[in-house]
Amino acid sequence: MNSPAPASARISIIGAGPGGLTCARVLRRHGIAATVYDRDPDAGSRDQGGSLDLHEEDGQLALREAGLLEEFFALARCESQEERRIDTAGRLLGHRLPAAGETARPEIDRGQLRDLLLRSLDAGTVRWGHALESVGGPAGGPRVLTFTDGSTVETDLVVGADGAFSRVRAAVSDAVPRYTGVGFLEAWFDEVDSAHPEAAALVGRGSAHVADGERGLFAQRGSGGHMRVYLMRRVPLDWMAAAGLRPEDTEGIRARLLAEYAGWSPRILRLITDNDGAYVDRPLFALPVPHTWRPTPGVTLLGDAAHLTPPLGVGVNLAMLDAAELALALAGSATVDDAVRAYEKTMLPRSAEIAGMLEGGAGFLLEEPDAEELARLASS
C-alpha cells in the first residue's frame, strides 16, 4: 500500500496530554484532521498534576506554532520563576528572583495547559474512554488500533503520545521503562497562604529545593493558592508494601517520613507532615539511553513514549516540541512516510543527546547544591 498524502490520511494520536493535543492543534491549523484517543472517561476525570515551566526554546515555540502563545501568557505565572535553595536547617543558600518582564520559563498548571489546548480543538477531536490495547495491522498499512473494550479503528498513522508506559511503543521498540531507584511522594497543600503561612513564606512564589545527599524535597507553588511538595528518596520500588504500609495509611507514612527526615529543621518538616490529604506514591522510571528504533511505516512516538527521562524540567517541553515538529513535517511532506522520516531524523538524535545528559539525573535531585548551582542562583 502506498503511503497517503497527510491531508487525506487517517491520523490517530494516542494520548490527550500536552504532546498529543499540541500535535492535533498544529495539524488543524494546517488543514489536516486528526483524532485523539484517550483512556480517561472525560477531561475532568483525574487530577492533571502540578505546575510546568514552559521554555521559550521549545514549549513556547510549540505554542507559537499552535497559535496559542498569547493565551498561554494570559494564564502563565511569570512570578513563579522564583527559585530557592535551602539547607536542611532551613537556611537560604541561594535565591533567584525573575527580572521584571522575564518570560523565559513561566509556570502554568498542567490542568490549565491541557484545558487551553482542548478548547482550541474542534468538538469531537478527542475520543474519551478509549484505552489502547495494541497496534496491529500489516507494515504496509492500514494500521489497526485495538482498544480494551474490543473496538477497533483502522488508521494510516498512529502517533504514540501515551506517556511512560506507552502501548504504542511496542510497535516500534522492545524497550521498557526501568525504575531509577528514586521515588517521589507527592503531598498537596490547599489555601497555602492562609492555612499554611509558614510553608508559604519558606517556599516563596515559585519553588524551593532541599537535599542532603540521601533525601530531597521539592516544593512548588501552583495557581489558586495550591502547593505541591515532592519528597524524594532512594527506596525500593516496593518500599511501601515492604514496610507494611498502604497508600491510604497517611499517618503511618507520615511517621515513617518523620523518622527518615529526622534532624531536618522543624520548619521544613512542616512541608512533610502538614499536607492536606493523602500522599501519592510516584516512583521514577526512565527508558534505556539511547532509545531509538528503525523506521516503522505508519507508527511514530513523541514525548515520554519516545524518550522518558527523570523529571528535570524538560519532559513536557520536549513532548510539545516533538508534537509541533511532527505536525509541521506532515504539513510539509508529500506522504505520511516522508513526514515521519523527516521528523524522526531530527527528533531521535536530539532526544538521545538530552537523555544521555540526564541519565542518572534522578539521583541529582537528592544532591546538595554545588558551587555552580549556587553561583547561578546568586547571579540572577
134-147 pLDDT, tens per residue? 999 998 899 999 99
Measured CA distances, 249 to 170, 231, 276, 281, 284 (Å): 36, 16, 14, 12, 21
Whole-number percent of the chain with pLDDT over 70: 98
> Does the domain spanning 6-81+103-176+287-359 belong to CATH 2.60.120.650?
no
User: Does residue 298 register a pLDDT over 60?
Assistant: yes
Give the predicted TM-score (pTM) of the model.
Answer: 0.95
User: Does residue 360 register a pLDDT over 60?
Assistant: yes
User: Does residue 365 register a pLDDT over 60?
Assistant: yes
Mean pLDDT of the chain: 94
233 known member of a binding site = no
53 known member of a binding site = yes
CB atoms within 10 A of CB 276: 14
CATH 3.50.50.60 domain locations along the chain: 6-81+103-176+287-359
143 known member of a binding site = no
Query: What is the spatial distance between Cα 196 and Cα 227, in angstroms, rounded to a whole number?
Result: 10
25 known member of a binding site = no
CATH of 179-285, picked from 3.50.50.60, 3.30.9.30, 3.40.50.300, 1.20.1300.10, is 3.30.9.30
CATH 3.30.9.30 domain locations along the chain: 179-285
The predicted-structure confidence for 16-46, as pLDDT tens digits, reads as follows 999 999 999 999 999 999 999 999 999 888 7
| Per-residue pLDDT band at 156 (split at 50, 70, 90) | very high
pLDDT at 378: 67
pLDDT at 361: 75
Q: What is the mean pLDDT of residues 223-247?
A: 96
pLDDT at 78: 95
The CA angle 115-118-123, to the nearest 5 degrees, is: 140
pLDDT at 375: 72
pLDDT at 379: 53
User: Does residue 380 register a pLDDT over 70?
Assistant: no
CB 98 within 8 A of CB 59: no
Q: Which helix (H) or strand (E) holds 211?
A: strand 207-211
Residues 6+ apart with CB under 8 A from 88: 210, 212, 263, 264, 265, 268
Residue whose entry in the numeric block shows the C-alpha cell 513514549: 305
The predicted-structure confidence for 163-219, as pLDDT tens digits, reads as follows 999 999 999 999 999 999 999 999 999 999 999 999 999 999 999 999 999 999 999
The predicted-structure confidence for 40-92, as pLDDT tens digits, reads as follows 999 888 777 889 999 999 999 999 999 999 999 999 999 999 999 999 999 99
